[in-house]
Structure 1
Amino acid sequence: MKVGIIFGSKSDIDIMKNAAVVLKEFGVDYEVHILSAHRVPERLTQVIKEMENNGVGCIISGAGLAAHLPGVIASQTILPVIGVPIKAALGGIDALFSIVQMPKAIPVATVGINNSYNAGMLAVQILSLKYLGLKDKLIIYRKEMKEKFLADNEVKFEF
């Protein structure tokens, strides 16, 4: 039970580390790589193949600007790919559009701009289809989240 996390630049670490926070919380192993679809495409291809051979169940990929990285990864594997658009230019809308508008038959699941936390949650959900212990943890997490929300909001408000 493992997730790959790939992003294109050291400057993306602060955004992408939130995916790892979620994976740690659920006890999911992960590996992290900083790779560029444009600068080191051969190394990217090699890492994707290694991930496939080493039991990675899905890949989270963050990218800004042209944001080709998640799509390039999806074009080279049948593993589910979750794209995280990273705010760089145009408020991240350019990256969001680039990632979400993949051509037919090469999908990339896409979360909100800079929202690697949700990418981590989606990876947990994907893996929970195969790993029942993880599914149980996810069910407990959701139950506790709901209980906490209700407890935090039982106060009567007056405006």
Structure 2
Amino acid sequence: GMAAALPGVVASLTLKPVIGVPLSGAKLDGMDALFSIVQMPSGIPVATVAIDGTKNAAFLAVEIGAVSDKALFEKYKAYREKAAEEIYAKDAKLQAELEK
């Protein structure tokens, strides 16, 4: 479901990192969910990503795991380097098209 309180409940029951993903819904386009997730009491942290930010939540989980997993770190580093190269290539292509 879209229970914005769930990440906070989970965080209160574990010492492991919890990532909350506020989902846009019929009410306030997800702002209500965002505020519900980020307003946790001191001592019960919940990492929070953008509204509907499931992809960044996955990347954040990988980054957390990569702190203690060297193989995961290397794979994620390679992914990020490739992504940066693709952005520079797209920029170069766009700049060339704009010069025409």
Q: Same fold (TM over 0.5)?
A: yes
**Distance (Å, rounded) in 2 between the aligned partners of 1:143 and 1:91:** 33
CA distance in 2, matches of 1:95, 1:77: 21
Residue identity in the other structure for 1:91:
D
5 Å-filtered alignment, 1:22-33, equals none
* Structure with more contact order per residue of length (Cα contacts < 8 Å, sep ≥ 6): 1
Q: Identity of aligned pairs, percent?
A: 48
> Match of 1:122?
60
Q: Equivalent residue for 1:142? A: 80
Is 2:71 the counterpart of 1:133?
Answer: yes
Match of 2:30 in 1: 92
Normalised by the length of structure 1, the TM-score is 0.58
The residue identity in structure 1 corresponding to 2:83 is M
Paired residue secondary structure (2:22): strand
SS of structure 1 residue aligned to 2:21: strand
Measured against aligned partners, the alpha-carbon deviations of 1:121-142 in whole angstroms (never above 9, x if no partner) come to 0000000011100000011001
Secondary structure of 1:85's aligned partner: coil
* Distance (whole Å) between structure 2 residues aligned to residue 91 and residue 111 of structure 1: 15
In structure 2, list runs of 5 or more residues that go unmatched.
none
Structure 1 unaligned regions, length at least 5: 1-8, 10-62
